[in-house]
Structure 1
Amino acid sequence: MPFTIAAQVSYEEEIKKSRFQAIAVPVENEEAVKTFLEVNKDITTTHQCWAWKIGHQVRFNDDGEPSGTAGRPILATIEGNELTNVLVLVNRWYGGIKLGTGGLVRAYGGSAGQCLLLAEKIELIEKKKAYFGCQFSEWSIFKYEMQHQGIDFQEQYTAEGVVVELQLQVHQIPELADKIRDVTRGREQLKLVEEQHD
């Protein structure tokens, strides 16, 4: 079962006068990664190195440090902790003493590792996109049901009724599918959206 982290955590340490600050944050998609990196852009730093993993997708950035000494060790730490949907950003403020490539690998990987140790690991619950339609008279029943189960949904009103798009945890699918069939007397059904994978 894949794991992610429950909330943002940070960790700081000083290594040979350089200050390292690691920030780990859960991310759902590349958009969330971009937003986080823009919000946390800090021009006072010497380097802002990062790595992220979302499902099978990974990216990392050495931000001017020698190739392979920052982003890759951060990514190795994420993978070593068996995490996904996580971004780790490590800021470095240079203190005047060179660390050498081995020192940099240990500093970036180590800061990221210490940071992730502080994070609460949670099971990543797979969600599926789905949709269904219903009449206006049935909508309040479904709305109550979905709010009660904590399901993320968006409704769209049409001339015929309501079209609902939702994100369901896998275990919620059978129950909601039965409810839709019952309430609409078999007229409507829950349709799952097939994800496109490259």
Structure 2
Amino acid sequence: MSADGLVMLAEPARLERDVRKSLFLAQAAPVTTPADALAFVRAVSDLDATHNCWAYRIGQDYRSDDDGEPGGTAGRPILQVIDGQGFDSVVVVVTRWFGGIKLGAGGLVRAYGGTAAECLRLAPRVPIVRRTRLTFHCGFGDLALLQARLPALDAVVEDEAFDAEGAQMVIAVPEGDVENAIGRIADLTRGQSVPRVVV
């Protein structure tokens, strides 16, 4: 079950195209924090290029930058493409090397937005799954079996803290599978481990 139909990039993507003698290069990457997004912008921006325009969307956090192009002609169209294609947790940088022909405001919107759109359209994507965190203690006798069975529950181990008796676990399971995961873990440990939802 995806989070409201949202998707994220499966891996970084790039696309180059010429628009009236200007070269446009779109580079996109999956990110989890604004700091990650800005680090990607710094890493792929070409200081010799005319402009490095960008946008990111991470949940409710978003930002865009025209990098010297007329206001609203580059960063905002890139952000609109991200939102329009249902992406989250993504950053896109579109770099332009000016080719001598001015594109005008409408031409810039089409060039930046179009390059970003084509890059994302061709990129491999995966659905975003909302997850609920569960915590429980598991004795050493059940730990190996439980670790072997967690992938079948589509559970992601977020934390394991070991003590004298076993491990305190924090896992994340798909929202719709919480009751099933709690029941399976209780069954596998013969009732010794009963997960509770982390609030």
**How does the TM-score come out when normalised to structure 2?**
0.84
Q: Corresponding residue for 2:180?
A: 175
Q: Corresponding residue for 1:16?
A: 20
Q: Corresponding residue for 1:151?
A: 155
Measured against aligned partners, the alpha-carbon deviations of 1:109-140 in whole angstroms (never above 9, x if no partner) come to 11111212212443222223332211122211
Aligned with residue 165 of structure 1, among 159, 170, 195: 170
Q: Report SS of the residue matched to 1:124.
A: strand
Mapped to 1, the partners of 2:97 and 2:16 lie a distance apart of: 11
Going from structure 1 to structure 2, the CA distance change for 1:168 and 1:101 (only over 3 Å counts) comes to same
- Post-superposition offset of 1:19: 0.9
Mapped to 1, the partners of 2:195 and 2:37 lie a distance apart of: 31
Q: Corresponding residue for 2:58?
A: 54
Q: Corresponding residue for 1:37?
A: 41
Which residue identity is paired with 1:13?
R
Superposed CA RMSD = 2.2
Which residue identity is paired with 2:12?
Q
Going from structure 1 to structure 2, the CA distance change for 1:171 and 1:32 (only over 3 Å counts) comes to farther
Mapped to 1, the partners of 2:183 and 2:71 lie a distance apart of: 54
Contiguous gaps of at least 5 residues in structure 2: none
Aligned with residue 141 of structure 1, among 132, 138, 145: 145
Going from structure 1 to structure 2, the CA distance change for 1:57 and 1:156 (only over 3 Å counts) comes to same
Equivalenced residue count is 194
Q: Corresponding residue for 1:87?
A: 91
Identity %: 37
Q: Corresponding residue for 2:132?
A: 128
Contiguous gaps of at least 5 residues in structure 1: none
Tell me if the contact between 2:41 and 2:54 (Cα under 8 Å) persists in the aligned partners: no
Mapped to 2, the partners of 1:179 and 1:170 lie a distance apart of: 15
Going from structure 1 to structure 2, the CA distance change for 1:44 and 1:131 (only over 3 Å counts) comes to farther
Aligned with residue 98 of structure 1, among 96, 102, 111: 102
Tell me if the contact between 2:154 and 2:174 (Cα under 8 Å) persists in the aligned partners: no
Which residue identity is paired with 1:127?
R
- Post-superposition offset of 1:15: 1.8
